Structure 1
Amino acid sequence: MELGNLSEFGRSRSSTRWATNPVRRFVWWLIAPYFRGAEGRIAARIDAVDSGIRNKIPEISAEIEKVAVEAEKRASAKVDSLTGGLRKDAFAIANRIAGLEEEAGVLSGNLSTLDRKIKSIAHGVEERISKLEISLQKYEQLGANLPQEKNSNGLIIAKGQAAERLLVRQNDHIGKRIIAGEEWEPHVRKAIEEAARPDGVAIDAGAYIGIHTLTMSRCFSTVHAFEPQLGIFQVLCGNLALNERLNVVTHNGALYDRSIAMRLAPQDHQEIGVPMVDGDIDYNRIENAAALSFEIAAPGDPHVDAIALDDLALENVSLIKIDTQGSDLRVLAGAERTIAKSKPVVLFEWERDLAALHGATLEGFFAFFEKLDYAVEVLHETSPGRQADYIAKPRSS
């Protein structure tokens, strides 16, 4: 219903006229002024509200745009920050990858160089082994062609326990053991290996034919081997050459407590018989050349030179093995400064009867090592109360 037709409200549902309904007519008379022009007022109000809203729209739009710009700036800054961090991380990763690739290239080059060196060394070793095998075959053929009666006790090549080839005499006590496949003094070999120092120096006093010298050459950077018997010294050098042990310095002489001349002790100071030929030892007949002892020479006697180990002023001595048939304590006395400085493991032999010829007692050994703060224990007893091998180690190590 339109507002202009409000006069219709004055009529009754029974179509009663205003003339017959004065109450309604009166009421309409009272309220009609309020409804006249209401439509215009409402429209004006709507127009005013609409105008206000329209006037607010630019302001609201500006505010919305401002908020949107600020949000965009913040979002852009955040994106830039994240992108910058990712770029930095990506750059760092790229640099690291490049570094790793460079390192890989260097390592690859080093490996290639090492591989070439190993192949070169292996080739050289193969050539030397081949030449050595040929030489050994020639030597064996030459030995086989010698008259049997002249070579029955001569040198032959036997195989040691660590695959070494050893020149030994067939009549010699130690040579027979090696030819039979036995190991000579395994307790000494074990002690040497336990004391191994790849950067250390070892001393072999009384090296004989080099059985223990060869073991030392595998366990230490340098070995000094002392052997006073010329005939045995030559075999020692032969065994070192045969096994290509180039880190051994050989000395055809003896160690003692000072520089002095020494000679082979006379028969009554030896434990075994010493057959001689024209004043020289007959090694084809002697049964145990390792058992020969030496003593201080008299003026004019044939002699070998002896020195004190301290005179060599060696550094980094890690092992001293002494087997000098009775003069072991004298050798130790000449090595006291070296022992005090380097604190090596010491292996020595006690032989009661031969030691007495050099004025040594077992108590003297213990007193010597006590002064240096060493602990001493039996390594192997050969003959109770008469002969034994000992090992001495610094207590502070």
Structure 2
Amino acid sequence: MTLAARLAPHLPPRVLASATDFLYPRFEPELRHLADFCPRGGTAVDIGGWYGPWSRRMAARADRVVTIEPVPHLARRLRATTPPNVEVLQAAATDHNGTATLWLPPDGRGDRGISSLVRRELHDVALDVPCLALDELSLGDVSLLKVDVDGSELAMLRGAEATIRRERPALFIELEVRIQPLEPVIDFLAALAYTGWVLPGRDWTPLAEFDLAAHQQRTVHVADDGLLRRSLAPHRRYVNSALFLPDARTPGS
């Protein structure tokens, strides 16, 4: 377990939120570029809310934020630390409604942000949680879906396909070749006329011109560093998310 994950459960919710909001844009610099793909107004959706750095930043731009977080104690923290225009749903986003098995690491908490509906070797504890298909929420005026579901991206997208086709939001999705092949998600979105972008440096680069799988294989050692270490050494870059935009849009357009 990382140092941050060990300390986090013992910090008051507001202190933890402030620390996360300070460090996370250095850990995931795409958050500093939120204005490039999250227009003002409308509804933004944070799927996999964790401690809420994306939810709180999105709440400053969107009229409404819907945050979906399956881990019960993380959902409670989110309700205590997000602005009034954030609605927190304690559930896992997938392709059906009902109940699903969420897999967590041996500590059974999920503070490292690696809980998933897809079991991997690092998972040891099973927890039954509510699950939902995003389409069932019938959301309107959706501008952005941010997705961090640690391996169940394709199921989540299938459960949101009607919303994506209707609303044409920007999609910011965590993708890691060490968890799953990248092609099924990229091909699914290409069929919906979405184009991928990544931010390996100062500027956005078309995903087609950046070998994301090879980059991750070269820098996978960085992925094992925790939030604190990677935030304090932002030059140690591990790109594990891609932005997908519809209809030939470009970041910042």
Q: TM-score, normalised by structure 2?
A: 0.70
Where do residues 325-340 of structure 1 align in structure 2 (5 Å cutoff)? 325-340=150-165
Verify: 1:154 aligned to 2:20, yes or no.
no
Per-residue deviation at 1:302? Answer: 4.7
User: Matched residues in 1 for 2:152 and 2:137: separation?
Assistant: 19
Per-residue deviation at 1:370? Answer: 1.3
Name the structure with the higher helix share.
Answer: 1
- Any idea what SS the aligned residue of 2:96 has? coil
Q: Deviations over 1:140-180 (max 9, x none)?
A: xxxxxxxxxxx9961146xxxxxxx5435xxxxxx9x749x
User: Matched residues in 1 for 2:20 and 2:146: separation?
Assistant: 21
Tell me the residue number matched to 1:93.
none
- Any idea what SS the aligned residue of 2:172 has? strand
Question: 2:145–2:171: 8 Å Cα contact kept in structure 1?
Answer: yes
Q: Deviations over 1:260-309 (max 9, x none)?
A: 4222326xxxxxx5225xxxx3x7xxxx531222349xxxx851111111
Unaligned runs of 5+ in 1: 1-150, 158-164, 169-174, 267-272, 356-360
Q: Which protein shows a greater Rg? A: 1
Residue identity matched to 2:91? G
Per-residue deviation at 1:186? Answer: 4.2
Question: 1:319–1:344: 8 Å Cα contact kept in structure 2?
Answer: yes
Which 10-residue stretch deviates more, 336-345 or 384-393?
A: 384-393
Tell me the residue number matched to 2:102.
264
Tell me the residue number matched to 1:364.
184
Residue identity matched to 1:182? L
User: Matched residues in 2 for 1:379 and 1:307: separation?
Assistant: 30
Cα separation, partners in 2 of 1:391 and 1:166, compared to 1, 3 Å: farther
Tell me the residue number matched to 1:275.
107
Q: TM-score, normalised by structure 1?
A: 0.46
Q: Deviations over 1:212-264 (max 9, x none)?
A: 10000001011000010011111111211xxxx11111100110012242223
Q: Deviations over 1:180-230 (max 9, x none)?
A: x53444423134222233321101000011111000000101100001001
Residue identity matched to 2:244? A
Verify: 1:202 aligned to 2:202, yes or no.
no
Cα separation, partners in 2 of 1:191 and 1:262, compared to 1, 3 Å: farther
User: Matched residues in 2 for 1:352 and 1:252: separation?
Assistant: 27
Identity of aligned residues (%): 25
Per-residue deviation at 1:344? Answer: 0.7
Residue identity matched to 1:253? A
Q: Deviations over 1:50-107 (max 9, x none)?
A: xxxxxxxxxxxxxxxxxxxxxxxxxxxxxxxxxxxxxxxxxxxxxxxxxxxxxxxxxx
Tell me the residue number matched to 2:176.
351
User: Matched residues in 2 for 1:152 and 1:333: separation?
Assistant: 33
Q: Which has the higher contact order (CA 8 A, sep 6+)?
A: 2
- Any idea what SS the aligned residue of 2:197 has? strand
Question: 2:103–2:127: 8 Å Cα contact kept in structure 1?
Answer: no
Cα separation, partners in 2 of 1:166 and 1:225, compared to 1, 3 Å: farther
Verify: 1:388 aligned to 2:229, yes or no.
no
User: Matched residues in 2 for 1:265 and 1:328: separation?
Assistant: 15
User: Matched residues in 1 for 2:9 and 2:85: separation?
Assistant: 31
Verify: 1:167 aligned to 2:5, yes or no.
no
Where do residues 88-167 of structure 1 align in structure 2 (5 Å cutoff)? 154-156=10-12, 165-167=14-16
Cα separation, partners in 2 of 1:152 and 1:200, compared to 1, 3 Å: closer
Tell me the residue number matched to 1:290.
113
Residue identity matched to 2:174? E
Question: 2:135–2:162: 8 Å Cα contact kept in structure 1?
Answer: yes
Cα separation, partners in 2 of 1:239 and 1:153, compared to 1, 3 Å: closer
Which of 90, 104, 109 lines up with 1:252 in the alignment? Answer: 90
Unaligned runs of 5+ in 2: 1-6, 120-125, 201-211, 221-238
- Any idea what SS the aligned residue of 1:224 has? strand
Verify: 1:223 aligned to 2:65, yes or no.
yes
CA RMSD in angstroms, aligned pairs only: 2.9
